[in-house]
Amino acid sequence: MSQPNPRTTGLFVLGAILLVVAGLVAFGSRSYFEHRPRAVTFFHGSVAGLVVGAPVTFRGVGVGSVLKILLQTNSTNGTAQIPVIMEFDPQRVTMIGGSDTAKFTERTKINGLGATLVMQSLITGQLAIELDYHDPTKVSSTGIDLGLPEIPEAEGGINAMKNTLSNLPELANSAASALRSVNELVSAPESHEILENLEKASKAAAETVASVQADAGRIASESRATAEAAHRATEHADALISALQPQLAATLTAAERLLAATDQRTAQIAGDVHTTLLAADRTLAELQATLGDIHAVISPRSTMIQDAQSLLHNLAAASGSLRSFADQVDRNPNALVMGRSSR
């Protein structure tokens, strides 16, 4: 039987080792060699149901998991808080404006990033951590330095539900007290009287409603009759309008013709009036000239008046001479033959 070749065996073993290393690099490099940022949240209530490996989500998107759950107690004041360290997957988170995932919590702290416990499964009771933005004034960090960025605990989540459930006994007592008060009120004699008055009032209301319904039926019938009469009147009016429409059209045509003739006659009269006004203007100018001439004639200083006055004076003198001659002839008729006697 031949002996195995040591060189061949060594090459086989070396190849197997290289394959194993290559497999580790290919399938486990992300988990073992990639840097995964971490952060811590200090929860002050119970974290029962939260385990290592529980998912960490941001608005329902898985961004990491719970790495450690610790406990810190203070014997001085008897308080306790539970730091929960979370580890984030850089492949699930993309930072807009930069790819440095390690500064994820530092950049979002000022925007009110907070963590709450939420129910992962109602059957198993397991919890998960939900991250989201809250009112920055209601989210504050503890200031405890664990060498990790802190994401403050926010209000709400499963702890708020537990606080609400813890108040259920008090709410139940208040409800029971209210029911007892209602029972006492119903059992009181005044309540029976009030119920009887309510029954009477309901009967009166029913009678009133029945009366109103009857009146409504009568009013509806009258309304229908009125509507039918109005409809008939409308039809009659339509027929009358249809019959009068030709006459109205003829009347409108005659009126249009009359208006046209009136417009034409008005234009002619306006022309005649204009001509008459021009003639009146010329006549008025001639009258004004004539009045000027008359004024010049009758003026005391005019030549014609002075000549007339001289003529009248001469006529008066001639008249006086004739009167004297007539008197002389009357006294001495022979004077016509003999002439005036000398003195």
Residue 191 Cα distances to 60, 201, 304, 312, angstroms:
55, 15, 134, 140
Give pLDDT tens digits for 185-215: 666 666 667 777 778 887 888 888 777 777 7
| Dihedral pair phi/psi, residue 184, rounded to 5° | -65, -40
> pLDDT at residue 101 above 60?
no
Both tokens of 147, joined, read: 């060498």
The CA-to-CA distance between both ends of the chain, in Å, stands at 234
Spatial distance between the Cα atoms of 158 and 50, rounded to a whole number of angstroms: 11
Identity at 160, one-letter amino acid code:
A
Question: How is the chain split into domains, by residue range?
Answer: 33-157
Spatial distance between the Cα atoms of 313 and 311, rounded to a whole number of angstroms: 5
Residue with tokens 């200083």: 301
Q: Higher-confidence residue: 307 or 32?
A: 307
Spatial distance between the Cα atoms of 147 and 247, rounded to a whole number of angstroms: 107
Please state the length of the chain: 343
Give pLDDT tens digits for 133-165: 888 888 887 878 888 888 888 887 666 665 555
> pLDDT at residue 72 above 80?
yes
**pTM of the predicted model, to two decimals?**
0.41
Residue 333 Cα distances to 319, 321, 339, 342, 343, angstroms:
20, 17, 10, 15, 17
Residue 80 parent element (H or E): strand 79-88
